Every structure is written in structure tokens, then in C-alpha cells.
């Protein structure tokens, strides 16, 4: 994709094949991003804008007060605890939005 074939460097068939493959990949990624946005928005207390340009989602999660209070008793931000638990329990890597730097 960085240096695609051109009619000066390759046959028309090669250029068309490359363009078709790139468009197929791009369309597939757009479809998956749309599905991910829709799925995230079905989760209670989660709101996610449409994913554009990359396969990164930035959902806003509203934690219940009880969870926030629990996090503060651990002297941690709720989103950090959430991310650590997602990794430990589901194997899904998340990055907390609170901006706290930490070492695992």
C-alpha cells in the first residue's frame, strides 16, 4: 500500500488486482468498525462514537457510584481498575482514559 504498483512499473492486471485487494481490505475494516460501534453501544452505560480511520474505539463508560467508591478505597481510578480486570478476566487490553501512568 505504501508503494503501490503503477502502470509504469507493472501490468494493468497487477495494478487492478492490487486496487481490488486494497478496496476489499478497506471495505472489510469499515464494516468491522461499524459492527464494533454498534455492539459497544448496546452495552448499558457505554456510549461510543462511530469508529473512523482505524480500528480504535474510544467508548465512554459511566461507572456506578458503588464502583467509583470501591476504586477510591483502593486509591485507584475506576477506569484503571476496569482495564486491569478486563485484561485479567477476558484477556482484552484497554487503556484507561484517566491519563494515569502505570506499570504492569
Tens-binned pLDDT, residue by residue, of the chain (104 aa): 678 999 999 999 999 999 999 999 999 999 999 999 999 999 999 999 998 877 788 889 999 999 999 999 999 999 999 999 999 999 999 889 886 555 44
The predicted structure's pLDDT at residue 10:
92
Topology annotation, domain 12-90: 3.90.1150
Task: List the domain boundaries for the chain.
Answer: 12-90
The Cα 79–Cα 64 span in angstroms is: 12
Give the three-state DSSP class for 60.
strand
Q: How far is CA 98 from CA 14, 54, 70, 81, in A?
A: 48, 22, 16, 11
Sign of CA dihedral 85, 91, 92, 98: positive
Amino acid at each position: 500500500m505504501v508503494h503501490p504498483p503503477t502502470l509504469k512499473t507493472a501490468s494493468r492486471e497487477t495494478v487492478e488486482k492490487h486496487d481490488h485487494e486494497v478496496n476489499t481490505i478497506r471495505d472489510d475494516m469499515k464494516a468491522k468498525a461499524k459492527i464494533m460501534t454498534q455492539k459497544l453501544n448496546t452495552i448499558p452505560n457505554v456510549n461510543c462514537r462511530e469508529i473512523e480511520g482505524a480500528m480504535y474505539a474510544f467508548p465512554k463508560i459511566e461507572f456506578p457510584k458503588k464502583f467509583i467508591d470501591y476504586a477510591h478505597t483502593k486509591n485507584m481510578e475506576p477506569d484503571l481498575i476496569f482495564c486491569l480486570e478486563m485484561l485479567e478476566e477476558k484477556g482484552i487490553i484497554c487503556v484507561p482514559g484517566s491519563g494515569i501512568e502505570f506499570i504492569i
